[in-house]
Each structure stands twice: as C-alpha cells, then as structure tokens.
Amino acid sequence: MRSPASTVAPAATGVPPHSYLAEIALALGGFGIGTGEFVIMGLMNRVATDLGVTAPEVGYAISSYALGVVVGAPIIALLAARAPRRALLIVLMLVFALGNIASAVAPGFWSFIGLRFIAGLPHGAYFGVAALVAAAAVPPNQRARAIARVMTGLTVAILLGAPLATWAGNLFGWQIAFVGVGIVALLTALMVWRFVPRQPQDPDASPARELSALLNHRVLFTLGIAAIGFGGMFSVFSYVMPTLTQQAGMAESLGPIVLVVFGLGAIAGNLLGARVADWNVLRAFPLILTWCAVVQAGFFFAADFVWPGILFVGLVGTSIALGPAIQTRLMDVAEGGQTMAASLNHAAFNLANALGAWLAGVAINAGYAWSITGPVGAVLAIGGLLVFLAGRWVEKRSESAEALRANVGVADSL
C-alpha cells in the first residue's frame, strides 16, 4: 500500500527533478513558434518575388497563420480533452514542424497560404498546454513565474529569433528560415519527450467539460481583457518603423536596434508582470493596464524624436506583462475547462494583434500623424481595464446572489 506522501502532486512538494530542463524544453517551443510567426514580416519582399505576387498579398500569409491559431485553439482543446499533456505537446510540435518545413517547399502562392494556416493550428494549444504543465510543476504562489519562464521563449524570439531568421532568409533564401523553425520544433518535441514528466490524467476530462469554459463569465471577461487590452501594444508595434523613420526622421539602419529594444522591453515586462501576478493577480490587472495606457500615450509625444521614440518602444514592449496575469487568472476560474481556456488565451492574443493594427491603420488613413498609434493603444488599454472592472462587477453580483440563495435555503430548512 502506498503512503499518502506518494500520492502528492509535484506542485505540493516543490520543484521536481528536471523542472528547469522541462521549462527550457517548453520555452524552446515558444521560441520556435514566435520566430515562425514574426519572421514572415521581414521576408515579405523575398517571398513576394519568388512566388510572383506583391508584398501586400504576402500579408495574406500572416492572416492565414492567425486564422489557424484562432481556429486551432478551441478545436484541439476539444479533440484532445482526454489526451496526456506531454504526448499532446509532442504531437503539436510535430504538426508545427511539418507546417513550417512544408511551407519552405510550397509549389505556389496559395499552397503557401494554406500551409501557413496549418502551421498556425498548434500555436494556441501549445502555449496553453505548456502553461498548464509548467504551472502544475511548482507551488501555487509561483505559477505565474513558471508561466513567464516558458513564455520567455516567445520574447526571446522577438529579440533574437525573428531578426536572425530574417537575416538568414534574406541571405540564403526565405525557405531556410522556415526550415530552421521546423528543426527547432523537432528539437522541442525531442526535449519534451526527454525532460517533461508525465502528469496524471484527469479521469473526468471530457469535451463537455472543456466546453464549460465558454459558458463561464469569468473566463469570457478574462479573454476579453486579452483581446482588447493587449491590442494597444500591437497598435504601436505594427507601425513602429514608419512612425520613427517618417515622423522622427530615424535612419532605416537603426531598425534592428528598435527591434532589440522592443524585445528587451518584452522580456523585462514578462518577468516583472509574473512577479506582480504571483503577488496578487486581481491587483495586477489594473496596475499593468494603467501602465500600458501611460507608456502607449507617452509614445505619441516621444515619436517626434529618434532616441526618446526608441526608448518608448521598449516601454511599450513591457506591455506583455499582462500575459502571465491573464494566464494565471484563467487557471483560477476555468474549473473543468482548463485546456480550452488556456488555449483560447493565445487566440485572444492574436485577435488583439489584428484589432490593434486595424484600428491604428484606420486612424493613420484618416489623416492623423503616425504617432496616433500611441493614443489608439492607450484607448485599447483603458478598454481592457473597463472590461476587467465590468467582469469584477458581474462576479461580485453573482457571488452576492449565490450567498442570498444559500441563506434562503438555510432559512427554509429551519
């Protein structure tokens, strides 16, 4: 007969053996996904020339990938509800590797678009499941930091992965970038198999339980914060290069420095945001969203000058601090729909990308200066804060109603 101690989950006994190697393996997958997602932006002209289309048409590949993320996250969460998480991570990385390597040998433009959609399918589910695996391996008061360490792979991809892949793609052909991403994905699958421990399967897991996340108002409000509040960062970042070159007069040769500064800001924001979320996740939301609104609004004034503008690009990058708080909150409120909620977080992140870029583009096309992206971002951050406040109001009303029903039930029984 086993002793009670033998049944304790790893999170209750501290960090298990190989925990950091497991986190490195999971972060490597994030690095591959981040590189694959962002590298296309630096290779548009090369892809357009080789496939015989215009650079704006290559933008369809970005939209196709994002659509794959949004579609894949909920479908995979449903179909894989009973799948062991380690095995699911391996399969997701193999599909991602296949989608990227196949993209490199696509025979034509529309096949390339379709393969980018396939490559996007595992994105949201991988990050969601990886976050759950990392959080389950540490004590509850360290969950956000474990999630942030896994997400570091994505931020390092912004800082190093995408620029290096862009450099290699422009030098040796854009195909080499996608092949490289595929190799990283295969290496991730191998490391997950080797270092990520098996976690006990939930015997009650089912597609119906995962779907329950879509009926949970706390989950939906948290996803709303992600879809709107995160949009501010993308409203600035999507147009940062033309803003600084055309409005501040920055030389195009400083472009790589801008990306590095943004990446450093993202890494700092990710790690600091995790600390705040582990301290108090509900207080983290108003603090971080207020910070986002301030720095994004500040970009409007800084964008008239080269070096202040570049500095504020880094400050805008810290907006990614919102990520660990959102993922931790989803774990707290998703109940039986953990995989669905965690996966949809990254679908909401991609919706924020689309929303921020679109609204900023509308403002620019309306005749405003390029730096209008800052105020647009600030409005979105404030919008995310309003969604948070609305969610808390609904939650408190629901709790009051439940308490009232409980009191009435007690009175009736007397």
DSSP 83-120: S-HHHHHHHHHHHHHHHHHHHHT-SSHHHHHHHHHHHH
CB neighbour burial string for 140-150, b if at least 16 within 10 angstroms, e if fewer: eebbbbbbbbb
pLDDT at 233: 92
Residue 413 — very low, low, confident or very high, per pLDDT cuts 50/70/90? low
CB neighbour burial string for 30-63, b if at least 16 within 10 angstroms, e if fewer: bbbbbbbbbbbebbbebbbeebebeeeebebbbe
15: helix, coil or strand? coil
pLDDT at 91: 95
Q: Within this chain, do residues 224 and 361 fall inside the same structural domain, yes or no?
A: yes
By residue range, what is the domain housing residue 142?
A: 15-201
- Residue 264 confidence (pLDDT) above 80: yes
CA distance 226 to 73: 15
Q: Within this chain, do residues 182 and 248 fall inside the same structural domain, yes or no?
A: no
pLDDT at 53: 84
Average pLDDT over residues 64-84: 85
CB 77 within 8 A of CB 343: yes
40: helix, coil or strand? helix
Residue 286 — very low, low, confident or very high, per pLDDT cuts 50/70/90? very high
Q: Within this chain, do residues 87 and 232 fall inside the same structural domain, yes or no?
A: no
Q: Within this chain, do residues 249 and 324 fall inside the same structural domain, yes or no?
A: yes
Token digits of residue 374: 């800052």
101 versus 404: which is more confidently predicted?
101
CA distance 188 to 101: 15
Q: Within this chain, do residues 277 and 192 fall inside the same structural domain, yes or no?
A: no
pLDDT digits (tens, 9 = 90+) for 288-332: 999 999 999 999 999 999 999 999 999 999 999 999 999 899 988
pLDDT digits (tens, 9 = 90+) for 206-237: 677 777 777 888 999 999 999 999 999 988 98
State percent of the chain over pLDDT 70.
90
* Domain total of the chain: 2
Whole-structure pTM value: 0.80
pLDDT digits (tens, 9 = 90+) for 128-150: 889 888 888 888 888 888 888 88
Q: Within this chain, do residues 253 and 319 fall inside the same structural domain, yes or no?
A: yes
